[in-house]
Structure 1
Amino acid sequence: MKLFLNMLLLLAVSNIFSQNKIEGVVTDANTNIELVYVTVYMPHLEKGTSTNENGEFTLNDLPTGTHTLLFSMMGFQTQSVNVTIPLNNPLTIQLKPSAIEMENIIISTPFHKLQRDNVMKVEHKNVAELKASGAVTLADGITNIAGVESVTTGIGIGKPVIRGLSSNRVLVYTQGVRLENQQFGSEHGLGVNDAGVESVEVIKGPASLLYGSDALGGVLYLNPERFANNNTDSGDFGTNYYSNTKGFSTNAGYKSSVNNFKFLFRGSLTEHSDYKTKAYRVTNTRYREQDFKAGLGFQNQAIKTAFRYNLNNSKLGIPEEIGEQSTNKTPLLPYQNITNHVFSYKSVLFFNNSKLDLNLGYVYNDRKEFEDHHHHETEEEHEQHEEGEEDEMLEAALRMKLKTFNYDVKYHLPKLGKFETIVGAQGMNQINSNYGEEELIPDATTNDFGVLATSHIHFENLDIQLGARFDNRNITVVSGINKSFNSFNGAFGIKKNIAENMTARVNFATGFRAPNLSELTSDGTHEGTNRYEIGNINLKSEQNFQTDIAFELKNEHLEIFVNGFYNRIHNYIFLSPDGNVIDNTPVFVYLQNDAILYGGEFGLHLHPHPLDWLHFESSFETVTGKQMDDTYLPLIPAKSISNIIRIEFEDNWIKKGYAFVKLKSTFKQDKVSTFETNTNGYSLLSAGLGGDFSVFNNELNVTLSGNNLTDKTYTNHLSRLKPDGIFNMGRSINLGFTYSL
């Protein structure tokens, strides 16, 4: 590994860079009129500007080589142009009018292309759009993406489910590094606040080629907010109020870029009381979250580098039964106190016709859980704690510290004819330590190492992407246990334009997941799940093969997509009761069997001419999961269909105005595992409106939304409160303001 890095760094030193710039003009393809305020962005360099009143733009201080230039503006089709620097002549760019929403560069795949140019299907959503639809948390917001759901424990604890797979089968990336926060636990949530997250991307299907173990089911990739454009600065603050929980979230941020240096920071505070159903409040679903994000960047023609830091602290109540009815926001016992530090360092070294990406990350997760029978307080001290006292007086029943260092090095070789090729190495060192009275999983060290190569081959009407990878995972437990897992994986995909405005994608990929520490060595009661879990040291790695087929039709006023998948998993790991009881708790053990999952998503987006301001969107999703003995897998989302009518408008007094009505219907789920209960179908009605206003010469964004407007009593199949007959959230009206300085 050291030799690999040294060779690449020597290449960087040997290159000489000159002053480069790009100039050009952007016009309307139909009228040839110059377009003002078109966003011009270079995603590889994270550098951008906008056109002036004459449609002109200039980007300075650019490295030699071939780079992607992105032009986007509301009401026009986003255009991606590859330019080779130095560039001798100014560019002339013509944008085609279109009612289709602006596209974005996909960051989670290594070649960083617009989705329409990607061989692999990736979903992309802006967080601002998810919040405007009424999402309370990020885990709640991603359920607006077809094929993505969330396993929830109240509103504060949620974890992503991609096509029926979750927990350690779905990898989460934030700030460009993998997030590790003991996600093996059913009651362990995402642990990321949406403040300072610009967009989310979802890879649905095995992504082990790109990310290694734990990406067997897919990847949730969180893109942080961008730095300010060169020699600009901006600030904003905002707040949201949620009527159901009497909750609020506030955040404020500032960013600036001067010459080659740039920085940003953002802080947020969120508090919610117990959520309310039509009949009662669900005791101890309250929580409090504090979040701080900061970034520092530097860029010249030879290097682009950025350091980011995220501190997140959450106090989350763990609901058990319906009890106290109040709007207090301080969690009762039992509750979790989780502190998460994420440090990331990202650099790109530019050579004449190639580049080197280096991502380093360090994640420090401190998880404490407090229970009724592990505190030593008087009644008076307990009352003080409930009124807001810190928990120094309490002794953590469970405390685990997880320290994870990970690295990701990719070298983009010079383009050779139709071939773009990337080679790389990834790895992780992880240390788990216990400090509480109880110990669910032992102290242990995990080391991952993987090497990969992938190529994108361009033809006139056909694109091919293929690659291969080798991984090794070693787990060493303090008791002397040492386990090693190896795996070869590959992927092959084709994207073809089969007709005008119609694209077909076919992808084949293998993935793997080594058993996690909990599955191998767990021995204790998991309070959040009411199970005594016993690990199985003889577990083998899960290995899967998935086929994805996707068709997409897109023109100026209509979009239709059809996605289908078939996923076969060998050695699928699952929990099963063995009939014994320890400490009045049923014992569950880890077993393995082959499994299959299949299903897909269908959607359409219609914006009829000449009513370009009117949008109708509909999507349907379905997934079925079975073991090979024909019994069903647990926690498989029910089928659902979502229909949205949306209008967009602008006037002198409002910009980017919108209003929508949404009806999401979830079907009955009776295809359940042996120890699950059925759930009935239901429909939820939502609506909202919003827009931007000019206040004191600055922009004020206002959003108003209502969820579950009919106050329906229902239970989502992925709610962990379902076995206790506890309903999901009732009617909620959400009001939000963001003021830009």
Structure 2
Amino acid sequence: MKVLYGALLSCAWACCAVAQTPHLVSGRVTEAGTSVALSDVEVSLPELHLGTVSDSTGRFVLSVPVSGRFVVQFTRLGHESRFMLLHLGQDDPAALDVQLVRRTLELRQAEVIGTQVLAPERVDRSVVQLDPRESTRQGALSLSDAIATLPGVSQLTTGPGISKPVVRGLSGNRVQVNMLGQRFDNQQWQDEHGLGLSDLGIGSVQVIKGPAALQYGSDAVGGVVNVREEAPAPVGTRIQQARLGVFGNTGGISVSYGMRRSGERNWWRLAAGADSHGDYAEGGGQRVLNSRFAQYNAKASYGWRHGRWTHADHVHLSFSQFGFVFDTLARSQEDPRYSRSFAGPHHQVGFVVVGSENVRYGEVTKWTLNAGLNTNRRQEQEGGNTISLDMLLNSASLLAQAATRIGPGTTWTNGVALLAQDNTNFGSRIIVPDAGTLEAGLFSFIRSERERLTVEAGARLDGRHISTRPTRQLNPPASPVAPFDRTWTTVNGSVGLAWQATEKLRFRLNASTGFRSANLAELSSNGLHEGTSRFEIGDPDLDLERVLALELGGAFTVRNWLDLDLSAYRNAFQGFIFLAPTGTEYIGFPVHRFLQQDATLQGGEAGIGVHPEVLPRWELTASYATVRGTRADGQHLPFMPADRVRTDLRYSPKDGAYLRAGVQQVLEQDRPAEFETRTPSYTLLALGAGIRIERQALTWDLAVYGNNLTDARYVDHLSRYKYLGFFDMGRNVGLSLQLTFH
């Protein structure tokens, strides 16, 4: 990897020798309907890590160092984001006249699909977006907790500290996570292994719903979670942010500090944060012993722009601890109410992610080369103050692609993606073997954008090889699971379109395939996992899991006061892999085996936003999501989320201030899998308020919130604590404070 990194730098300096005259992008931003000049509008080109802000007259000037086609986005608190496609050639574009519509909610960024930066209306599939700042104001305990508020997204939880996103009923190795220009892997094959990411330094999170193998390769059968870093500071500025969060239910506290600075040619950022929570209390006030958790993070980035070249390096360090909760309170020694001690049974996870993103803009071709390293150490201490489970996963990835303009509005992209992984056990207890994985993909797709129609189609060839090594405990002479070598190859494709039928109506249609090979646990596990209270046995002969997905969606807008969005989908799986009980026990634990069968998932989402022109400071949003999953034998698939309705009413008495009330209604889940039980319906009430105070050199953002205000005693169908007899979190009241120094 050092040789590769040196080659990248050498190539960078060679390319930098080609100078290019900068383009000046200028204009003025006003409010639609009033023509009032808008200051502090963030004007940015996300693809180039470049931005500025408008002045008191609404005017802005931005120097762009390279030619090409770029999405420029305009964002401002209390206004709807605007996206424009700029063609920067020999001549600078005319001054832009931009109008932003007043909105009370935080608004979205440009979409990122693979390495493409797209305006939302040009995307041919369902993509939802999260603003972490808004989630912080509403008391989200983790990034997964925040993502679960999006339509069609839920979370599989093992208490409030351990959770992973569930996209349209799929999770784990069926949902790929990307950050810092690479795939992020943290042993997500196990139910109680959470996502493990905080919102430190995060600008937005985008969830692509449905298969996305064309751009992302294996494991993206259910969707993709793109974690996007915050943008660099506007050119010529330095921004510092300090944040404090307080959580009443867990006695939790969250603190962070970050600094960003940007010049004409380079930029950098630093950030560090810590989160610490005691045990949570379920509805009614009963404490759940040893459900505590803590996380510590640090990040750094450095980037530069010169000539036709842009470059960014990132590093992310993280360490987390999570207490084990057992099926009887007697197995945990009671200590002070908000104790942070991890002297009892717990697991801890540390990871380091290093990424390098490099882009060169030629006359007609954009070259991208991304490289990354990821090391993940997972340890479990099950009592006696000794480590039992100890796994180290190392990953290295490389993405190289060329996007060539072959006609007006048409781009042909070709590329290769490589991944190498190695898993090694160091502990006394082993549940998956020592193994190495190699993966390679070749892809090609064409994207054509016309005035009202965008079409994209392509294909991808992937190969994946897994080789396990003889591993103590897993492979004794009488073991049903022996070391093996497996190789899979598959071809996938996608075709989709986004059609702006009228100014008010647009449609999207997509047909895609996806795949994944069975993971190490499904292929070769042969042991007890304390976190699941099961003895699991894998099958090394499992075939590829394939999916064909169809999705139809549409959006309708009425005079800027009504927004409707609808999506319907059907996913047909060939060889869906699932864990099933055998009806036998081993040393007192139920034995489960991994099996395979065809399956179907289908469902839909609906969203509505009402912002009346006669009541411009009021906004009502609501969403509904449903999914049904069944195997070919008629049995329901496990961990299918219940239907849910979310409603949020918000009033902004003035710019930067708001009052909100939210209701989440989760219906009964009466379609349990063969080893599940029904889950009753429940309703949660939330209230919140916030204010933003701006001074010349300092901005205050203060928010207070209350979740589950009725202290409802409930459990979600996707809570793994349900079968241990514990309910989910009760009333939680807290606050969030952020100070921004300009």
TM over 0.5: yes
Question: How many Å separate the matches in 2 of 1:522 and 1:672?
Answer: 25
* Cα deviation, residue 72, structure 1: 3.4
- Equivalent residue, structure 2, for 1:371: 382
- Equivalent residue, structure 2, for 1:484: 487
Equivalent pairs counted in the alignment come to 714
Give 2:570's match in structure 1, choosing from 550, 566, 572. 566
* Cα deviation, residue 260, structure 1: 1.8
- The answer to whether structure 1 residue 287 and structure 2 residue 293 are counterparts is yes
* Cα deviation, residue 578, structure 1: 1.8
CA contact (8 A) 2:157 2:720 kept: yes
Give 2:164's match in structure 1, choosing from 159, 163, 183. 159
Question: How many Å separate the matches in 2 of 1:629 and 1:184?
Answer: 25
Q: CA 1:605–1:105 in 2, change beyond 3 Å: closer, same or farther?
A: same
* Cα deviation, residue 674, structure 1: 0.6
Q: Which moved more, 1:346-355 or 1:285-294?
A: 346-355
Give 1:43's match in structure 2, choosing from 46, 70, 73. 46
Q: Which moved more, 1:104-113 or 1:44-53?
A: 104-113
Unmatched tracts of structure 1, length 5 or more: 376-393
- Residue 644 of structure 1 aligns with an amino acid whose one-letter code is D
Q: Which moved more, 1:520-529 or 1:99-108?
A: 99-108
* Cα deviation, residue 79, structure 1: 3.2
Question: How many Å separate the matches in 2 of 1:181 and 1:270?
Answer: 19
CA contact (8 A) 2:241 2:258 kept: yes
CA contact (8 A) 2:602 2:629 kept: yes
- The answer to whether structure 1 residue 646 and structure 2 residue 650 are counterparts is yes
- Equivalent residue, structure 2, for 1:690: 690
Measured against aligned partners, the alpha-carbon deviations of 1:216-235 in whole angstroms (never above 9, x if no partner) come to: 11011111112222221111
Q: Which moved more, 1:325-334 or 1:286-295?
A: 325-334
- Equivalent residue, structure 2, for 1:213: 218
* Cα deviation, residue 579, structure 1: 2.7
Question: How many Å separate the matches in 1 of 2:512 and 2:484?
Answer: 32
CA contact (8 A) 1:108 1:201 kept: no
- Equivalent residue, structure 2, for 1:379: none
Measured against aligned partners, the alpha-carbon deviations of 1:49-80 in whole angstroms (never above 9, x if no partner) come to: 12234443222251133333223344355131
TM-score (norm 1): 0.93
Find the residue that maps to 1:78 and give its secondary structure: strand
Q: CA 1:639–1:419 in 2, change beyond 3 Å: closer, same or farther?
A: same
Find the residue that maps to 1:528 and give its secondary structure: coil
CA contact (8 A) 2:647 2:663 kept: yes
Give 2:552's match in structure 1, choosing from 549, 554, 565. 549
- Equivalent residue, structure 1, for 2:371: 360
Question: How many Å separate the matches in 2 of 1:717 and 1:689?
Answer: 30
* Cα deviation, residue 737, structure 1: 0.8
Q: CA 1:244–1:72 in 2, change beyond 3 Å: closer, same or farther?
A: closer
Measured against aligned partners, the alpha-carbon deviations of 1:134-154 in whole angstroms (never above 9, x if no partner) come to: 211111111110000000011
- Equivalent residue, structure 2, for 1:607: 611
Unmatched tracts of structure 2, length 5 or more: 471-482
- Residue 364 of structure 2 aligns with an amino acid whose one-letter code is N
- Equivalent residue, structure 1, for 2:422: 431
Find the residue that maps to 1:168 and give its secondary structure: helix
Q: CA 1:446–1:579 in 2, change beyond 3 Å: closer, same or farther?
A: same
- Equivalent residue, structure 2, for 1:537: 540
Question: How many Å separate the matches in 2 of 1:238 and 1:438?
Answer: 40
- Equivalent residue, structure 2, for 1:708: 708
Q: Which residues of 2 match residues 387-466 of structure 1 at below 5 A? A: 394-466=385-457
Question: How many Å separate the matches in 1 of 2:399 and 2:140?
Answer: 32
Find the residue that maps to 1:519 and give its secondary structure: helix
Give 1:86's match in structure 2, choosing from 54, 78, 90. 90
- Equivalent residue, structure 2, for 1:177: 182
CA contact (8 A) 2:205 2:226 kept: yes
Question: How many Å separate the matches in 2 of 1:126 and 1:508?
Answer: 28
CA contact (8 A) 2:108 2:131 kept: no
- The answer to whether structure 1 residue 60 and structure 2 residue 63 are counterparts is yes
* Cα deviation, residue 237, structure 1: 0.8
* Cα deviation, residue 104, structure 1: 1.7
CA contact (8 A) 1:281 1:322 kept: no
Measured against aligned partners, the alpha-carbon deviations of 1:431-489 in whole angstroms (never above 9, x if no partner) come to: 00000001111111000000111221123332211111010000011135110011100
CA contact (8 A) 1:432 1:444 kept: yes
- The answer to whether structure 1 residue 473 and structure 2 residue 464 are counterparts is yes
TM-score (norm 2): 0.93
Q: CA 1:14–1:619 in 2, change beyond 3 Å: closer, same or farther?
A: closer
Q: CA 1:267–1:61 in 2, change beyond 3 Å: closer, same or farther?
A: same
Measured against aligned partners, the alpha-carbon deviations of 1:107-139 in whole angstroms (never above 9, x if no partner) come to: 234431111121222111110111112211111
- Equivalent residue, structure 2, for 1:717: 717
Question: How many Å separate the matches in 1 of 2:226 and 2:260?
Answer: 23
Measured against aligned partners, the alpha-carbon deviations of 1:480-516 in whole angstroms (never above 9, x if no partner) come to: 5110011100011122223331111111000001111
Measured against aligned partners, the alpha-carbon deviations of 1:515-539 in whole angstroms (never above 9, x if no partner) come to: 1111111111011111111110100
- Equivalent residue, structure 2, for 1:20: 22
- The answer to whether structure 1 residue 255 and structure 2 residue 273 are counterparts is no
- The answer to whether structure 1 residue 138 and structure 2 residue 163 are counterparts is no
- Equivalent residue, structure 1, for 2:307: 301
Find the residue that maps to 2:211 and give its secondary structure: coil
- Equivalent residue, structure 2, for 1:385: none
Give 2:276's match in structure 1, choosing from 271, 275, 279. 271
Question: How many Å separate the matches in 2 of 1:88 and 1:262?
Answer: 24
- Residue 380 of structure 2 aligns with an amino acid whose one-letter code is E
Question: How many Å separate the matches in 1 of 2:16 and 2:406?
Answer: 19
* Cα deviation, residue 559, structure 1: 0.5
CA contact (8 A) 2:504 2:556 kept: yes
- Residue 519 of structure 2 aligns with an amino acid whose one-letter code is N
* Cα deviation, residue 695, structure 1: 6.3
Find the residue that maps to 1:414 and give its secondary structure: strand
- Residue 122 of structure 1 aligns with an amino acid whose one-letter code is V
Measured against aligned partners, the alpha-carbon deviations of 1:706-728 in whole angstroms (never above 9, x if no partner) come to: 00000000011000010122100
Q: CA 1:78–1:88 in 2, change beyond 3 Å: closer, same or farther?
A: closer
- Equivalent residue, structure 1, for 2:329: 322
Question: How many Å separate the matches in 2 of 1:71 and 1:319?
Answer: 47
* Cα deviation, residue 36, structure 1: 3.3
Question: How many Å separate the matches in 2 of 1:522 and 1:406?
Answer: 25
CA contact (8 A) 1:115 1:121 kept: no
Q: Which moved more, 1:290-299 or 1:107-116?
A: 107-116
CA contact (8 A) 2:218 2:515 kept: yes
Question: How many Å separate the matches in 2 of 1:10 and 1:329?
Answer: 47
Q: CA 1:432–1:274 in 2, change beyond 3 Å: closer, same or farther?
A: same
Find the residue that maps to 1:86 and give its secondary structure: coil
Q: CA 1:696–1:725 in 2, change beyond 3 Å: closer, same or farther?
A: same
Determine what percentage of the aligned residue pairs are the same residue.
Answer: 30
Q: CA 1:68–1:15 in 2, change beyond 3 Å: closer, same or farther?
A: farther
CA contact (8 A) 2:439 2:462 kept: yes
- Residue 494 of structure 1 aligns with an amino acid whose one-letter code is L
Question: How many Å separate the matches in 1 of 2:266 and 2:547?
Answer: 45
Find the residue that maps to 1:498 and give its secondary structure: coil
- The answer to whether structure 1 residue 340 and structure 2 residue 358 are counterparts is no
- The answer to whether structure 1 residue 105 and structure 2 residue 96 are counterparts is no
